[in-house]
Structure 1
Amino acid sequence: MARNQKARAKTEQARGKAKEAAGRAVGNERLTAEGRAEQSKGDARQAKEKTKDIFKH
């Protein structure tokens, strides 16, 4: 399960970066903001998984 969540975090981060870049390219502030939000969500998920790993060992 943890690997799945880690992969999901990386996917969210990558998707967020792509959205943010696309938003900047076309001048769409909403898309840029959505991209940043998705990156933050991925960052939070990754931090949660790292914390869980620390307490497992």
Structure 2
Amino acid sequence: MSLKDRAKATAKNVEGKIQETAGNVTGDPKDQSEGKAKQAEAKVRHTVEDVKDEAKKIVD
């Protein structure tokens, strides 16, 4: 996995946590759900990259 892709996924996760927290503070359910969705997207990106890493290990 490239460091760049992992950094993007981590940034997306942090962005989601901030948005979810802002939604919790303001009571905005839209921000809460969008923040959770961004965190889920980041988790999927990390998983995809982990699979790529494992596949590369097998091929190498």
Q: TM-score, normalised by structure 2?
A: 0.90
- The percent identity for this pair of structures is 32
Q: Mind listing any 5+ residue stretches in structure 1 that lack a counterpart?
A: none
Equivalences for residues 1-57 of structure 1 within 5 A: 2-57=2-57
- Which digits, 9 at most, give the CA deviation of each residue in 1:3-35, with x for residues without a partner? 111100000001100100010000000000000
Larger Rg: 2
- Which digits, 9 at most, give the CA deviation of each residue in 1:22-52, with x for residues without a partner? 1000000000000000001100000000110
Q: TM-score, normalised by structure 1?
A: 0.94
Number of equivalent positions: 57
Q: Mind listing any 5+ residue stretches in structure 2 that lack a counterpart?
A: none
